[in-house]
Amino acid sequence: MMNLEGMIDALGTATFPERLYGTLDCLAPTEHVSLLQFARDGSVRLVCSASRSHWPFAREAQRAYLERFHALDPNRSALEATRPPAGALVQRLRREQVPDADYRHYCYDAARLVDRLSVLFADAGGGYALNLYRSRERGPFSEDDAARLRESASLLAACCAKHGRLRQAPETGPAAAGRVDAFGERLMQLRRGLSRRELAVAARVLAGMTSEGIAADLGIGLQSVLTYRKRAYVKLGISSQRGLFCLALLPPAH
């Protein structure tokens, strides 16, 4: 499997989604990849996602799925019927197989998608779904694509589950918002010329949010988050998240 070493090295880091995408794109060329965690209580969490460069995947379609349609996804019922230590399963959902008209429109047609291959793997808390999507322009996945994915499903499942455990959901709600505001005020005291976006990203890093979480919270792309974070680090004279925490803990006079 190409890019496997890089994907494993990136486990638990912000670069994992792109490494995962690169690995999967070599197995079965795809426009968009998402890793979802399903809980037994019916909730769902987006662990990470990545798209082909310059491909206009509709962020609204992913949001619509998470907010409205995940309960209708056949992957959920498949995971609910599966108990560990069952192996990884590969399922397919073509556009025409989606029975709900709204689900089909918002999660397939609006995003110009026609096909999905999913690697499903259960755990004690529920399970994960690693989804690969194909666009209308490229056409459906082939049987060879599905066969290659099945051959690598167990290894992909192990890597994705490990990444999911390493990247647990950050704190949300009023408490998290208060932490972001407090860290933003602390960074403003440093007077290092941070732009509004650089300040917002750096404050959320300090609040413990993942890069994917920051992207969702600010409504920007993952690559933009990484760019703003890099610029903020340069202006602050640091090179890592550890340096950012150390800087935030210094007295204002420093």
Convert the pLDDT of each residue in 126-164 to its tens digit.
899 999 999 999 999 999 999 999 999 988 998 898 888
Convert the pLDDT of each residue in 169-193 to its tens digit.
555 556 566 667 777 787 888 767 8
E strand or H helix at 60, and its extent?
helix 59-64
Convert the pLDDT of each residue in 215-240 to its tens digit.
877 888 888 999 999 999 999 888 88
- What tokens appear for 143 in the block? 């049987």
**For the chain, what is the domain count?**
2
Convert the pLDDT of each residue in 81-99 to its tens digit.
877 666 889 999 999 999 8
Task: Please tell me the pTM assigned to this model.
Answer: 0.67
| 134 & 11 share domain | yes
Cα dihedral across residues 74, 80, 85, 86: positive or negative: negative
**pLDDT score at 178:** 66
In three-state secondary structure terms, 130 is strand
User: Residue 24 is part of a domain; what is its CATH number?
Assistant: 3.30.450.40
| 142 & 40 share domain | yes
24 near 30, Cβ under 8 Å? yes
| 137 & 215 share domain | no
Domain that holds residue 178: 174-249
Among all chains, which residue has been given the structure tokens 């009023």?
A: 174
| 140 & 38 share domain | yes
First to last CA, the chain: 49
E strands present in 24-176: 32-39, 44-51, 89-92, 113-123, 126-135
**pLDDT score at 254:** 46
| 179 & 137 share domain | no
Pick the last residue of a domain from 129, 147, 166. 166
